[in-house]
Structure 1
Amino acid sequence: MAERERERDRAERERGLPRIRLDLPRERPLRLLPEYDPEAFGRLSERIARFLGTGRFLVWMTLTVIVWIGWNVFAPASLRFDEYPFIFLTLALSLQASYAAPLILLAQNRQDDRDRVNLEQDRKQNERSIADTEYLTREVAALRMRLGEVATRDWIRSELQDLLKELEERQEERHGERHGERRGLFPADGDRRSDVPDR
């Protein structure tokens, strides 16, 4: 078995084909540009963009410009590093703006991607909710149809009351008939007439 693999490796080397081995890690090609984690860079750009959009950044930026201009106007000439046209300040501000704009756009793109994913998840959740609601509506309608055929408690109660009244009436009729027969055979005390005259 090992000899077959060696022969296969040798044949592939002779043909100039690299042998891809699954038991060894792949060699990474040499890159001239440094590698970076796009997710980490995106998080950093979002943090910077959030800071650039705060009042704290505006206050610090304003204080920096005021100190810069004040130093270069009122400081002794030997300590000034940016004379009146403030070329270095202009360069620094334009450099800051040139970096801030792409960082803000990158943060907006990431936010758009998150919003798109959230919107898609909300849409799927809404579709599931609508499907569940439709299913429950059909089930409730089916239960209503089935309950229409089932006797309700009030209907059973009224039917039982009607039956009780009917039974009571029949019992009274039977009881009345029995008393009537008894009267004929055995008259009540008040109805008894004696054959013997009163003495």
Structure 2
Amino acid sequence: MAERTQERDRERDRERTLPRIRLDQPRIRRPRLLPEYDPEAFGRLSERIARFLGTGRFLVWMTLTIVVWVLWNVFAPPSLKFDEYPFIFLTLALSLQASYAAPLILLAQNRQDDRDRVNLEQDRKQNERSIADTEYLTREIAALRMGLGEVATRDWMRSELQDMLKELEARDGERRDLFPGDGDRHSDVPDR
């Protein structure tokens, strides 16, 4: 049993040292020295922090904190003061806050730029589709207009029928003129 375990360990070591030959098998994960994190979760957190840093509520809380800090360290008994004038610890805390706030704000802005870029690309594609649809509909309407030019409309048919009726009436009038007695004769014997 121990031999099998040792053989499996040797096989694993061999697999780790040899380059991966087959592409249909996943790579063996190497241990990482740095902790892994989800970039999306970190980005969402940075956006929430940046959104809070840009509010009036943050400014009010920051101002109140600084005022209380300064008043405490000026008027408190000497044994309770933790940051006497020139407030080195306060300066350090504000510098630390600023050093974290700036990159978080930049990260949130970069994520917003990425979203804006994606939205702009989608809007551009939608505009292209709209233009293509409009051009298609324009061509279809032009084809329908051309087709309607060749189709007999009700008014055209009416005018044609009226013209034919007038022609027939004129011919019938000419025929009566050629055979004036034709209408008076009531004979059963046909004309020869």
**Offset of residue 162 of structure 1:** 3.1
- Superposed displacement of residue 82, structure 1: 0.8
Task: State the Cα distance separating 1:160 from its structure 2 match.
Answer: 2.5
Count of residue correspondences: 175
Q: Which residue of 1 aligns with 2:163?
A: 162
* In structure 2, distance between residues paired with 1:164 and 1:93: 102
Judge conservation of contact 1:13–1:19 (CA < 8 Å) in 2: no
**Which residue identity does 1:114 align to in structure 2?**
R
Distance 1:98 1:170, change over 3 A: same
Check conservation: 2:20, 2:27, Cα contact below 8 A: no
Query: Partner residue of 1:50?
Result: 51
- Name the SS for the 1:142 alignment partner: helix
- Asked if the contact 2:47/2:105 (under 8 Å) is kept, the reply is yes
Instruction: Give the share of equivalent positions with the same residue, in percent.
Output: 82
Contact 2:83–2:90 (8 Å) recurs in 1:
yes
2: CA distance, partners of 1:146 / 1:23: 60
Provide structure 1 residue ranges, at least 5 long, that are not aligned to the other structure.
Answer: 1-8, 187-199
- Separation of aligned partners in 2, 1:135 and 1:79: 80
Q: Relative to structure 1, is the Cα distance of residues 99 and 154 closer, same or farther in structure 2, using a 3 angstrom cutoff?
A: same
Alignment partner, residue 140 of structure 1? 141
The TM-score, its normalising length taken from structure 2, stands at: 0.76
TM-aligned CA deviation for residue 73 of structure 1: 1.2
Change (3 A) 1:69 1:170: same
Partner Cα distance (1:124, 1:36) in 2? 34
Partner of 2:111: 110
Where do 5+ consecutive residues of structure 2 fail to align? 1-9, 187-192
The change in CA–CA distance for 1:72 and 1:136 in structure 2 (over 3 A counts) is: same
Match of 1:74 in 2: 75
Per-residue Cα deviation, 1:62-108 (whole angstroms, up to 9, x for no partner): 11111111111111111111111111111111111110000000000
d(CA) in 1 for partners of 2:184, 2:159: 39
Q: Distance in 2 between matches of 1:157 and 1:35?
A: 84
SS of 2:85's equivalent in the other structure is coil
Instruction: Report the CA distance between 1:136 and its aligned residue.
Output: 1.5
Write the letter of the residue equivalent to 2:109: Q
Find the structure with the greater CA-based Rg: 1
Scaled by the length of structure 1, the TM-score of the pair is 0.73
Tell me: CA distance 1:183–1:99, structure 2 relative to 1, closer, same or farther (3 Å): closer
Asked whether the equivalents of residues 45 and 107 of structure 1 are also in contact (C-alpha less than 8 Å), the reply is yes
Q: Distance in 2 between matches of 1:184 and 1:131?
A: 74
CA change 1:122–1:75 in 2 (3 A) is same
How many angstroms apart in 1 are the aligned matches of 2:183 and 2:26?
Answer: 118
Aligned to 1:95: 96
Counterpart AA for 1:38: P
Does the C-alpha gap of structure 1 residues 71 and 32 become closer, same or farther in structure 2, counting only changes over 3 Å?
same
The Cα of 1:112 is off from its aligned counterpart by 0.6
- What RMSD in Å do the two structures reach over aligned CA positions? 3.3
Q: Write out aligned runs for 1:6-17 (5 A).
A: 13=14, 17=18
